[in-house]
Structure 1
Amino acid sequence: MLPDLDSIALFVKAAELHSLTRAAQAQSMGLAAASRRITLLEHRLKCTLFDRSHKGVALTPAGKTLLHHAKQMLIQLNQMHADLEEHGPGRRRTVRVQANTSAMAQYLPADLADFNLNYPDIAITVKERWSQQIVEALLLGEADVGIINGGGSLDGLDCQPYRSDHLAVVMRPDHPLAKHQDLYFDQVLDYPLVGLEHGASLMDLLASQAGLAQKAFKLKVQVQGFEAVCRMIEAGMGIGVLPEHAALAYRYGMNLEIRMLRNEWAKRQMLVCTARGREKSEQSVRLVQALSQVIDAGP
């Protein structure tokens, strides 16, 4: 008997989270029921999929083999559902977009509004996520178009340039660095930092650059979202590094100072991406073309 799809989805989630408990919560089921499903799956496949310990679960060699096939199966299933939805009565194609925080806080809303003026019959859903989460969603067929920052793995994706942004230092007017007009990241590392939570591509970039500078990365507090970062800076919890145009939205309301980072890596290229090898709808193709053409207009 072939394993059921719910058990396959639970297995993939447990493998990604390294925890059956968290996977059960994500799938809205009890831990006991989830454990029975995995045990039955192992029985049907006649192999052990996880090594279990008090720290969680780790894939066995057999589990790693199954994970590859299971992800491909779920990708095909999601694509099948998406394709069949188009045959429902009165349905119009919806383009599922996932975008990182930098794009959402700066350029994407206005660019999508311009696209909507030209193509009012195309419906768009937009979800804000971290860049690595967007890559995974594209590969799993959970999104049609993704907006990410370059720097991570792009395997399995077709990518076009989108907008670019420039990182800046955000601080209170009374901070010692406010007297400088030009700043470099090694100067910033001398002070406590307010940053985004783990998983943000911006934080990965800053941590790697701190390592190259051979200086400590003094994260004092981590929060979710650019506004929360600025609120913490306003309260005196430290300084932060954010995309310039995103920080400008909070500059006057919170009485903040903004100084551009002069490091070459501080200018980042955004990308508009789709999954390679998967059939793309006409609506998705139009959106990708429209977004990739705005780069000539400048940030």
Structure 2
Amino acid sequence: MRVDYLGLEAFVAIADTGSFQRAAEVLSLSQAALSHRLRKIEEDLGAALLIRSSREVSLTPAGQNLLPEARRLLKALQDTYEAARAGGKAQARRFAFACLPTIANGFLPPVLGALQVDRPDIAFDLLDIPVSRIVEAVRSGRAEFGLTIVSAELSDLRIRPLADEDYRLFMRHDHPLAARRSVTLEDVEALPMVRISSQSKNRQLLDIAFGQMRDRLRWQFEVQSATVAMRLVASGMALTILPESALAMAPVPLVSVPFEGVRLQRKLGVVSRRGVPISDDAAVLLHRIETEMLENFPRHLAVSSDPRSRPRG
């Protein structure tokens, strides 16, 4: 049987106010419309609920029995509706942003943790994906902004450069080069190396930086991800060249040593769509990220790259 919520609402309003006129005002109805709703529910129930005289409105025995249950039912319906509406608003506020996996694994968690303490109401989806997919996510609107490698080819997006990050040579703690303060490309040209696929933006930047020296290095292995490359390094099979921040993703503790005599860097920054403002919550997070990266990114890398700051095993 269909429940006549409008009729119940009319009945409860009349009973609570003691007047058709006041009940009609509460529900923003005409008295004729209110009377129609009451008459309809009485017909459905097969019993009169109210007795209306020239001076007052009183409840019939059927009305007295129905009133507390009608109030409970309407209250439960209102609570359910409000909860659903609150959930819908929270979901509408939820946003997504994209970030390089190397940054998402090391630099970002402390920033997000501090934000959660200050703004526990902010909810988001973090897309830790490669450069090409970050750009796609931002252009399509799936992500409000992206923390990525920035370059001139992204001119259709709004770009804010934030920090430069060095590429380093990654190796095991027991490797002969691990104790060096720096290395040259000549130091490693005879050693087995593992590199990332040519589809990787990091690989493309390194190929450009190496120039002709690229073909002199002993690229014995090629893999699809930095994590796999570091696993091969951990096994003692090879060395690899990765962004300094990748050390936070290492499956086991490794050592990273900077290069000298060659400039191996990537520029990190934020990209977003031109002419499209980001949401308020996304703007709060973005401000935190930009401030922390501008002020503390070099110090963060210095700590994470120091072997003494990482457990040995």
- Alignment of 1:188 onto 2:188: yes
Change (3 A) 1:206 1:191: farther
Aligned to 1:247: 247
Please state how far the C-alpha of 1:228 moved relative to its aligned partner: 2.2
Equivalent position amino acid for 1:243 in 2: P
Contact 1:130 1:199 in 2 (8 A): no
Contact 1:272/1:291 (8 A) holds in 2: no
Aligned to 2:215, the other structure's residue is in SS state coil
- Where in structure 2 are there 5+ consecutive unaligned residues? 1-85, 299-313
Distance in 2 between the 1:97 and 1:273 partners? Answer: 10
1:96 CA drift (Å): 0.6
CA contact (8 A) 1:169 1:240 kept: yes
Q: Quote the offset at 1:223 in angstroms.
A: 3.1
Q: Which residue of 2 aligns with 1:215?
A: 215
Q: Within 5 Å, which residues of 2 pair with 1:20-169?
A: 88=88, 91-151=91-151, 153-169=153-169
> Residue in 1 aligned with 2:18?
none
Q: Distance in 2 between matches of 1:124 and 1:223?
A: 31
Provide the rounded CA distance (Å) in 1 between the counterparts of 2:119 and 2:268: 23
Note if contact 1:210-1:217 (Cα within 8 Å) is conserved in structure 2: no
Aligned to 1:288: 286
Amino acid at match of 1:258: S
Query: Contact between 1:146 and 1:274, CA under 8 Å: does it hold in 2?
Result: yes
Note the C-alpha offset of 1:165. 3.0
- Cα shift at 1:195: 2.4
Deviations 1:159-181 (A, max 9, x none): 22445433221123554544643
2:276 matched residue in structure 1: 278
Q: Is the Cα contact below 8 Å between 1:162 and 1:293 reproduced in 2? A: no
Q: Give the number of the structure whose alpha-carbon radius of gyration is greater.
A: 2
Cα distance between partner residues in 1 of 2:152 and 2:173? 35
Identity %: 23
The answer to whether the Cα contact below 8 Å between 1:186 and 1:210 also exists between their aligned partners in 2 is no
* 1:115 to 1:179, Cα distance in 2 relative to 1, 3 A: closer
C-alpha deviations, 1:208-262, integer Å up to 9, x for none?
22225363454322334433222101223211112334326649x45x4431123
Q: Structure 1 247/220 Cα, relative in aligned 2: closer, same or farther at 3 Å?
A: same
**Which amino acid is the alignment partner of residue 211 of structure 1?**
G
Secondary structure of the corresponding residue to residue 143 of structure 1? coil
Pick from 249, 260, 263: which aligns with 1:262? Answer: 260
Give 1:97 deviation, angstroms. Answer: 1.1
- The answer to whether the Cα contact below 8 Å between 1:101 and 1:225 also exists between their aligned partners in 2 is no
**Partner Cα separation in structure 1 for residue 205 and residue 189 of structure 2:** 14
Q: Which amino acid aligns with 1:261?
A: F
Counterpart code for 2:295: D
User: How far apart in 2 are the matches of 1:239 and 1:185?
Assistant: 12
Unpaired runs of 5+ residues, structure 1, are 1-85
Task: Work out the number of aligned pairs and report it.
Answer: 212
> SS of the counterpart of 1:221?
strand
C-alpha contact (below 8 Å) 2:106/2:249 kept by paired residues:
no
Closer/same/farther in 2, CA of residues 264 and 145 from structure 1, 3 Å limit: farther
Name whichever of 110-119 and 134-143 sits farther off.
110-119
Instruction: State the Cα RMSD in Å.
Output: 2.9
Distance 1:227 1:217 in 2: 21
Shift of 1:156: 1.8
Pairing 1:172-183 to 2, within 5 Å after superposition: 172-173=172-173, 175=175, 177-178=177-178, 180-183=180-183
Distance 1:116 1:158, change over 3 A: farther
**TM-score, with length taken from structure 1:** 0.61
CA distance in 2, matches of 1:89, 1:182: 53
Distance 2:226 2:201 in 1: 13
Whether the 8 Å CA contact 2:102–2:248 is kept in 1: the answer is: no
Query: What amino acid sits opposite 2:286 in the alignment?
Result: V
